[in-house]
Amino acid sequence: MRGIISRFAPAPTGFLHLGHVVNAVHVWGETRARQGRVLLRIEDHDRQRSRRHFEDAILEDLAWLGFEADEPPVRQSERDDIYLQALDVLRRQGLVYACDCSRSDVARADAGRPDVARLALHEMDELRYPGTCAGRGLAEGPAVGLRVRLVPSVERFVDLRLGPQEQRPSAQCGDLLARDRDGNWTYQFAATVDDHVQGVTLVIRGVDLLASTGRQIQLARLLGRAEPPEFLHHPLILKSAANGGVGGPRQKLSKSDGDTGIRELRARGWTPAQVIERAMSFVE
């Protein structure tokens, strides 16, 4: 049997915080329990928001916490060739088209969608692209994005924590944006290509990403992946709890919450064990 390969994949758009620590505990815990290997991937696909000093700080904090990857980190910003090759695979199947819609164009079009077409609550957090440019034959070029045609399908998978899941990516999100109008590869596209090319067999991430699993499974299949990875979606940290409040809105922790940054806790003299314990005490 092939060994388990998972990954920890932070975006260097801020410092490491308690939410990352919860993810790391799940990634390393689950993977090591199954004698697997952990890869480290710097998801700096958003060139406008990614900063090298955040990456350096994240890697340093991670090492301090004792989370060691089995290979040196890879950076998405250095994998353009790999994404272009993946795009070619899709292009040969006639699945790629240019799209110059802005996010507000998509929002406007989506707002006109009848309520009956709306899906379950957790799937409504995202906009559905209605295929505005699918038949336009728009030329590719600067300030033009690229989309991948999704075919109607029901994607079934068994989440290792949540059990059997069923998603309809083309109804849920419409054709998938692979590269945006700024020339950035999207999270969905880059992560799916990387998981495929790097041979990742186990994806462990927060439950906020559950709704995107079906489209990643379909995209992976279109890229030629025979077997999708296994997925485990873990609970998120509660922001109200992490901030010491009670009864506040149940929000997930974000990178802008400086008071839960690992840097700050280190500066206050916390030990790695204390930081990990605190992070896990805030999980839903």
Q: Provide the binding-site residues for Zn ion, judged by CB under 5 A.
A: 99, 101, 132-133
Cα–Cα distance for residue pair 33/250, rounded to 1 Å: 31
From the CB of 100, what's the least distance to Zn ion, in Å? 6
Instruction: Give residue 242's Cα distance to chain centre.
Output: 22
From the CB of 143, what's the least distance to Zn ion, in Å? 12
Instruction: Write the DSSP assignment of 55-68 as a string of letters.
Output: HHHHHHHHHHHT--
Nearer to Zn ion, 133 or 148 (CB): 133
Residues paired with 270 in a beta bridge: none
Nearer to Zn ion, 100 or 208 (CB): 100
Nearer to Zn ion, 132 or 243 (CB): 132
Nearer to Zn ion, 109 or 119 (CB): 109
Tokens of 1: 């049997």
CA distances from 103 to 164, 186, 231 (A): 32, 13, 29
**Continuous H helices in 34-159:** 52-65, 80-91, 103-111
From the CB of 101, what's the least distance to Zn ion, in Å? 3
Which amino acid appears at position 217 of this protein?
I
Tokens of 180: 């945006």
From the CB of 128, what's the least distance to Zn ion, in Å? 12
From the CB of 109, what's the least distance to Zn ion, in Å? 9
Cα–Cα distance for residue pair 160/50, rounded to 1 Å: 31
From the CB of 131, what's the least distance to Zn ion, in Å? 8
Contact between 170 and 153 under an 8 Å Cβ cutoff? The reply is yes
From the CB of 215, what's the least distance to Zn ion, in Å? 17
Contacts of 274 (CB under 8 A, 6+ apart): 265
Nearer to Zn ion, 20 or 128 (CB): 128
Cα 110–114–118 angle (5° rounding)? 75
Nearer to Zn ion, 127 or 204 (CB): 127
Nearer to Zn ion, 133 or 238 (CB): 133
Contact between 144 and 98 under an 8 Å Cβ cutoff? The reply is yes
